[in-house]
Structure 1
Amino acid sequence: MLQPTVMTLSEVHVHVRPRGPAEFVAKDFSNVTRLGDTMVWDPAVDGILWGESRQNQSGDHGGERHLDSDEVLYLISGAFRLSIELEAGPAEIPVRAGQAVIVPQGIWHRLLVDEPCHFLYFGGGRTEIRRHI
């Protein structure tokens, strides 16, 4: 019988497969392909990748989009606005502690931090990131 493993969630991702065991994986962002003004990070997972993040300020990238699945963000504490780019134009969605938001697959988005945030993210697969704002 396997022994349960205890990890600090801020230091790892959790990979949950559709079938088979879940595992902790290192927060390794080295598998990146550069494409002009964007880059694609591929965590090489088959299933859901989730974890914890803390942000004190808005990111310095120009947004990201998830190429293989939707993303769920659950805000534990703080406040942010989810800036999204829709066909109808840009929009900002305020998110407060205790709330969750689903970011549809392929939608460019960025977190605009209003108060230091502690949140969980759930998604999977490749993420395309614009390098600069």
Structure 2
Amino acid sequence: MALQWMILACVVAAEAAVAALLTVPAPRAVRAQIVGLTSLILQPFACVLPFAAFQLLDIYWKKEHRLMCTAEVCTAEERVRFEKSIFKAQRNVILCVSAFLLYWCIYRICKINKDIKSLEEVEKRIKEE
């Protein structure tokens, strides 16, 4: 199970790096190359979305079927283990949600850059006429 979360963490880190690379000011030619490459990567990168959704469902299922340790019958060790599992689940939810948000941000940034490029081409054609 830890391998799945490590893979998702690496994907989120890669998405964050790509998002940072897309938002860094760069000359037009370099930006066009970055946006083009990122647009090609976006489709295969979409496989992380169902994976993160499955992980969210897994967290929800485990939350619903977790043994509660709220009574005074629980030992201190059981209570610590219960709280630790809650914290891990919260961390993993943040990881899944950030995977969705970063993918959406990258998609929107690429789309906006492509729209700007097409509008510049339209403007250039209108000026030539």
Q: TM-score range by the shorter chain?
A: under 0.3
By percentage of residues, which structure has more strand? 1
Return the TM-score normalized by structure 2.
0.23
Q: Which has the higher contact order (CA 8 A, sep 6+)?
A: 2
By percentage of residues, which structure has more helix? 2
